[in-house]
Amino acid sequence: MLLEGKKLLVTGVLTDSSLAFSVARKAQEEGAELVLTSFGRATRVTERAARRLPDPPPVLELDVSSPDDFAALTAELSERWGRVDGALHAIGFAPEACLGGDVLRAEWEDVAVALRVSAFSLKALASALLPLMKGTGGSIVALDFDATQAWPQYDWMGVAKATLESTARYLARDLGPLGIRVNLVCAGPLRTVAARSIPGFSTFEEVWASRAPLGWDVQNAEPVARAAVALLSDWFPATTGEMVHVDGGFHAVGA
């Protein structure tokens, strides 16, 4: 099994339709021991989803806007495991004003929230886990939606994803000498809770199915989960700062 004996932190599980849930399930099938995170009123929803996994993991409190929560996470994982072998960053949020097809509408206060939660949180998570990952050959994988071009309706979330991508590259530079890899999985559109919050999401579905060379099933998260698990494993020991597209090849073709 690819992740036999690995201890992984998985963020972003809300329901069993969450992309992070599919990654968590595949990671357990490959032998990993997991801890999930959630926060506030969403915690109960995450706990219900956790019970649907093959081996229901504990759910720890983590508000990525709270430095105190990150400090508590480090302390809890240090006591529980003493080390962390890998982490999935599957966190993204933008206020309503940041989406919808009018990039001029949002003010800085809303944009700041989108950037902090969706991008800076990767740096904050890496910092919190660093004492537990140094020298382990650890891997941090973040879920992405390729931000090299402008998308309909995506607006400031696209900017946040571009920031996430750049952040991952700089983290790869600085954490590589410590034996930690940082990579992104750029997924095609999938019918998740997050996707349903994006106005006009059906636009992505229609275009993707017709243009992706390998085709694309918006209800099948398995290919993305497999890619994330592979990057969390020891099978990519010399790969870091990479954007792995799991999108049916959509990114490689023009109109």
Query: Which helix (H) or strand (E) segment is 202 a member of?
Result: helix 201-211
> What is the rounded CA–CA span in Å between residue 34 and residue 191?
24
Please name the residue ranges forming H helices in 81-116: 108-115
Active site residue 6: no
* DSSP character at residue 100: S
User: What is d(CA 56, CA 38) in angstroms, rounded to the nearest whole number?
Assistant: 14
Question: Exposed, middle or buried by CB within 10 Å (0-12, 13-18, 19+), for 16?
Answer: middle
Choose the catalytic residue: 6, 7, 26, 154.
154
Identify the CA nearest to 134 among candidates 82, 67, 192. 82
Q: Please, are residues 98 and 155 in contact by the beta-carbon 8 Å criterion?
A: yes
Report the distance separating Cα 103 and Cα 129, nearest Å: 34
Residue with tokens 């993204």: 92
Residue 29 CA to residue 205 CA, distance in Å, equals 29
161 in active site: yes
Q: Where are the beta strands (DSSP E) in the chain?
A: 7-10, 33-38, 59-61, 86-89, 139-144, 181-187, 243-246
Question: Looking at 6, 7, 26, 161, which residue is catalytic?
Answer: 161
Catalytic residue numbers read: 154, 161
